[in-house]
Amino acid sequence: MSGDLNLTLKVWRQSGPNAKGALKTYKVVANEHMSFLEMLDVLNEQLISEKETPIVFEHDCREGICGSCSMVIDGRPHGPQTGTTACQLHMRHYKDGDTIVVEPFRAKSFPVLKDLSVDRGAFDRIIQAGGYVSVNTGQAVDGNSIPIEQEVALKAFDSATCIGCGACVAACPNGSAMLFTSAKVSHLGLLPQGKVENTKRVKSMVAQMDKEGFGMCSNVGACEAECPKEISLDNIARLNRAYTGAVLGSE
């Protein structure tokens, strides 16, 4: 069929968190119009027909929104396309005969559950530690009732685009979660409704981040480069200033 690609996949297989894993080689025929996850679906259908265990990988929306499709493709979180999640990566970017290596995110704080699926519950606990506002909002108010400078609103919205996929952690040589944490702190703390508890939020979220075992940020910049939503490193600088102010009591 026109547009078909004969591919060799080297996929990480691991039966459980404490099991020893290894790369296993598969042959698959995919169409160039498929997404990367649809190509994995085809491979899984093939494995099921051969009475083999299908490959476990996470997915949900398949629209680049939920952040579930966390995997490392040819050494890069979410694959070779900048600003793209794995589910939005399409096979037209590959050539017939290509070999593709697919692995789970590698980080101490993201233990492998099975195959390409990892436990990213640490992110949820960071958000739970301080990612909320206690302002009684009541009924929806008019959008212009609270004046917010456009530049501030844009920064908050840019930070809020973080989907919590964990690519920043997987890309960082230290396994740092600073980009994720700083994005959550920024999108809440920049707006008036979130400023009330910003000091408490910053300290509690950073403390939880450290408790989860994430590494320290050393300004390598790989997190921003591999983030599918292109979250800016400016958020990390903003978090550092807020944390210093919170600890020293200047806020």
Query: 199-230, pLDDT tens digit by residue?
Result: 999 999 999 999 999 999 999 999 999 999 99
Looking at the structure, tell me whether residues 12 and 50 fall in a common domain: yes
- From 113, 131, 164, give the residue that closes a domain: 113
Query: 98-107, pLDDT tens digit by residue?
Result: 999 999 999 9
Please give the residue range of the domain that contains residue 183: 121-248
Query: 161-178, pLDDT tens digit by residue?
Result: 999 999 999 999 999 999
Looking at the structure, tell me whether residues 101 and 126 fall in a common domain: no
Nearest alpha-carbon partner for 126 in 190, 213, 58? 213
Query: 78-97, pLDDT tens digit by residue?
Result: 999 999 999 999 999 999 99
Looking at the structure, tell me whether residues 243 and 125 fall in a common domain: yes
What average pLDDT does the structure give for the chain?
Answer: 93
Q: How far is C-alpha 119 from the chain's CA centre?
A: 12
Within 10 angstroms of residue 65's Cβ, the number of other Cβ atoms is 14
Count of domains observed in the chain:
2
Residue 16 scores a pLDDT above 70:
yes
> Taking the C-alpha atoms of 128, 132, 135 and 137 in order, what is their torsion angle to the nearest 10 degrees?
-110
Nearest alpha-carbon partner for 175 in 148, 143, 213? 213
Give SS3 for 33.
coil
DSSP secondary structure letter of residue 229: T
Torsional class of 93: left (φ above 0), alpha (ψ -120 to 50), beta (otherwise): alpha
> Are 136 and 105 in contact, with CB atoms under 8 Å apart?
no
Within 10 angstroms of residue 233's Cβ, the number of other Cβ atoms is 18
Residue 139 scores a pLDDT above 80:
no
State the Cα–Cα distance between residues 189 and 222, nearest whole angstrom: 25
Looking at the structure, tell me whether residues 134 and 235 fall in a common domain: yes
Residue 1 scores a pLDDT above 60:
no
Looking at the structure, tell me whether residues 82 and 200 fall in a common domain: no
Structure tokens at 82: 């900048």
At 251 the pLDDT is 47
Rounded to two decimals, the pTM is 0.92
- Pairing label, strands 117-118, 72-73: unpaired
Looking at the structure, tell me whether residues 180 and 243 fall in a common domain: yes
> Are 115 and 102 in contact, with CB atoms under 8 Å apart?
no
Looking at the structure, tell me whether residues 156 and 100 fall in a common domain: no
